[in-house]
Structure 1
Amino acid sequence: MRPLRTRAAFAGLLAGSLLLTACSDDSGNEPDAEGSSSPSSSAGTASASATPYLPVPDDVELTPPGSELEVGEEAVVAYEPKQDQVGVLSIRVDRLERTSFKESFSGWQLDKATRNSSPYFVRATVTNAGETNLGGRRLQPLYIVDGNNTLIEHSSFASRFDPCPSAPLPKKFGPGKKAEVCLVYLAPDKGDLTAVSFRPTQEFNPVTWTGELQKVKKAGGKGKGKNNQRG
């Protein structure tokens, strides 16, 4: 098994100000190319520790690191969105979709490197299960894993993208708040989506979801930005 590598989404300015960015969290704990864990750890061998890997409220039971889940199953996970701050999320990956640039990016002017990738949409339901307000934060610890065992961040947009907004959490996302999200991932070199991986740090044994790829859900609009012009 190859070691996990982290590869950010392509950086570039596309028509309509579609901006594919690589963001890292404030804690600087993003997993890197030398990660030693892999997303193939078995849930059967994962065991809950007597002490949670991060301090969480007493009524929160975290999903054991290394758990392998199916699409539709829920995991309760914790991470540090910034130093000395712990966020707790209940994440249910609801649907994995493979799309195409022709189908979902009609009207966008894409560079060669972007067109050489494979676009995927990941739809999930996210609930704030902790005590920290996570409003406006990106779901940075949630990656996809490609056929080369590479972690890929989701892309962000500088303007509206109707098929799959890939936006941060709502501005008001305090304890108990729930949101349905859709994240865009671009797997370089026509890569595959083999799993969705929650992995906030290199040392963390990831929680993963696997399932069948579905046809992309149709949404209103053609996916154009506010100004369909070349950046």
Structure 2
Amino acid sequence: MSSSVMRRGGRVKLASVGLVVVGSLALSACNGDDGADQRVGGATPTPSAPSSPSSQAPSTQPPSGGGGAGQAKGGQTFKLGEAARFPFTYGTKTKGEIALTVDAIEKGAPADLAPLKLGDKVSGKVPYYIRYTVENVGTTDLAYASVSHMKGHLGDGTEAQNLMIIGSFDKCPSESLPKDFTHGKTQKGCAVALAPSATTKVVSAEYWGDPFTMGQGLYWK
């Protein structure tokens, strides 16, 4: 994958405008990287495959909120608006602790995608905006780190397709963490998940970045 994030001085901005639609399963090879690499080009969306029952059976144990001492565990389910606290790693040098909250999963309109000029690649699909908040609850500066690896799930448990945007998208803005992102600082983020039709909904979100894995991440619904 070619790097498309610039980190030299100041606030990190995603580089030249471009985009790619991919199926969620196609992202599995990116798990464990620093989140800076994105695929650029006109890749055709790949269908989402049904997940196995074991990978889609999130834990029902009580979640630990961002203000609690407990750490979130893989497979744990949270309510929308509830924070999950866990160790965070970005690349090889940035380590700390964050509290991640999925604030809402909002249904958009197919017309929202028109400015992206994707044509048939998104024909009939409906965007859902997974809006989340990142809080630094650790003692290290997480400046310029990227909190990504967020995906949506449909009502039947299968993975929604991800829309990865390189550049800006006003409907769902997302940037790397800013300079001096120290303890107590927060930032909003957004990820786009695509429902295959107007009659299908994206009903939950999953964060599967390090230290978690796809299918055993943290869930919100």
After TM superposition, the score normalised by the length of structure 2 is 0.63
Work out whether residues 69 and 209 of structure 1, in 8 Å CA contact, stay in contact via their aligned partners in 2: yes
Give the alignment of 1:34-49 within 5 angstroms.
37-44=54-61
Q: Do residues 26 (structure 1) and 37 (structure 2) align?
A: no
C-alpha separation in 2, matches of 1:21 and 1:80 = 26
Q: Helix, strand or coil for the counterpart of 1:112?
A: helix
Structure ID, larger Rg? 1
Query: Are the structure 2 counterparts of residues 126 and 120 from structure 1 closer, same or farther at C-alpha, using a change threshold of 3 Å?
Result: same
Residue segments in structure 2 that go unaligned for 5+ positions in a row:
1-15, 36-48
- Alpha-carbon deviation of 1:120? 1.0
Deviations 1:122-153 (A, max 9, x none): 11221012234333333223222234523755
Identity between Structure 1 and Structure 2 (%): 23
Q: Helix, strand or coil for the counterpart of 2:189?
A: strand
Q: Helix, strand or coil for the counterpart of 2:194?
A: strand
C-alpha separation in 1, matches of 2:169 and 2:121 = 20
User: Given residue 184 of structure 2, which amino acid in structure 1 is its aligned partner?
Assistant: G
Task: Point out which structure has higher relative CO (alpha carbons under 8 A, 6+ apart).
Answer: 1
- Alpha-carbon deviation of 1:36? 8.4
* 1:145 equivalent in structure 2: 153
* 2:95 equivalent in structure 1: 86
- Alpha-carbon deviation of 1:99? 0.7
Give the alignment of 1:202-213 within 5 angstroms.
202=213, 205-210=216-221
What is the total number of aligned residue pairs between the two structures? 177
- Alpha-carbon deviation of 1:75? 0.9
User: Given residue 85 of structure 2, which amino acid in structure 1 is its aligned partner?
Assistant: V
Alignment RMSD, CA only?
3.5
* 2:109 equivalent in structure 1: 100
Residue segments in structure 1 that go unaligned for 5+ positions in a row:
1-15, 49-58, 211-231
Give the alignment of 1:1-231 within 5 angstroms.
17-20=17-20, 24=30, 25-26=32-33, 37-44=54-61, 61-83=70-92, 85-102=94-111, 104-146=112-154, 147=156, 149-150=158-159, 153=162, 155-158=164-167, 160-187=168-195, 189-190=196-197, 192-200=201-209, 201-202=212-213, 205-210=216-221
Query: Are the structure 2 counterparts of residues 138 and 116 from structure 1 closer, same or farther at C-alpha, using a change threshold of 3 Å?
Result: farther
C-alpha separation in 1, matches of 2:134 and 2:207 = 13
C-alpha separation in 1, matches of 2:190 and 2:126 = 16
C-alpha separation in 2, matches of 1:152 and 1:171 = 31
C-alpha separation in 1, matches of 2:52 and 2:144 = 28
Query: Are the structure 2 counterparts of residues 98 and 151 from structure 1 closer, same or farther at C-alpha, using a change threshold of 3 Å?
Result: closer
